[in-house]
Amino acid sequence: MKKGKFGIILCFYPIAAFAAVILNSPLICAALAALAIFAEQDEWAGRQSLQAWMLSAALFFFDRFTGWGSSILPIPFLSTALSFISSALFVILYVAAITASVLGILRVSRDGEANIPLFSSLAYRIYGKARPKPVQQSAPYGIPYEYPSQPPQPQPPQQYPPQYVPPQQYAPPVNVPPQQNNGSNGPNPF
């Protein structure tokens, strides 16, 4: 974990800014983002704090807009229904912001990118950079589909070069005494 110019660990600024989003304090979040951007001048901490501030600002403006919209209509029943709908939408958005903030805190505490879906690419654009694309695993090489099977073609016999065979040597003749022939071809069986 890197320390900044003031001896504070750089992941403190985004973590505190995301905590301010959970507490619904956009001014504290803006102050922490300004500290990370202008005082520390660290790009990573600035980007993460900027994402937290944009999330907090979006939540703040949505709350103000829905409150203003429900007070326009002076009709009691319609105003109450619109107020109920806007409050339900704000609760859903606030729960989503809390979830995104907790995920952002967990990712930033491990020195990673917060990656809040819409605000991450916007924070990169503010710094004049493009968000890096994730590296995709390439598909394994192989046959994409099964080819129809064909009968194997006969292969011509292979011609091997002649190998050297030494000449065969015969044993010298041995003098054997001649056998007696008494007119029969072997012993008499009777």
What's the pLDDT score for residue 117? 85
Q: Are 69 and 82 in contact (CB under 8 A)?
A: yes
**How large is the average pLDDT for residues 13-36?**
93
Task: Give the pLDDT confidence of 101-137 residue by residue, as tens digits.
Answer: 999 999 999 888 888 888 888 888 888 877 777 777 7
22 against 74, higher pLDDT: 22
- What pLDDT is stored for residue 183 in this prediction? 57
User: pLDDT, tens digit, for every residue of 135-175?
Assistant: 777 666 655 556 566 766 777 777 777 777 777 777 777 77
In this predicted structure, the answer to whether residue 189 has a pLDDT above a threshold of 60 is no
Q: How many CB atoms lie within 10 A of CB 171?
A: 5
pLDDT at residue 162, as a whole number: 74
54-58, 161-165, 186-190: range with lowest mean pLDDT: 186-190
Report yes or no: 1 and 111 within 8 Å, Cβ to Cβ.
Answer: yes
Please tell me the predicted confidence (pLDDT) of residue 102.
95
State the pTM of this model. Answer: 0.65
Tokens, residue 33: 């983002």
Give residue limits of the domains in the chain.
12-126
pLDDT of residue 147: 58
The one-letter amino acid code at 148 reads P
Tokens (6 digits) for 111: 């020195």
Report helix, strand or coil for 9: strand
Please name every residue paired with 9 in a beta bridge, in sequence order, or none if there are none: 3
What DSSP string describes 107-166?
HHHTT-----HHHHHHHHHHTT-PPPPPPPPPPPPS-SSPPPP-PPPPPPPP-PPPPP-P
Phi, psi of 2 (to 5 degrees): -80, 150
CA 183 to chain CA centroid, Å, is 101
Show the tokens assigned to 133.
């694309």
What does the pLDDT read at residue 140? 62
Contacts of 93 by beta carbon, 8 Å cutoff, 6+ apart: 59, 62
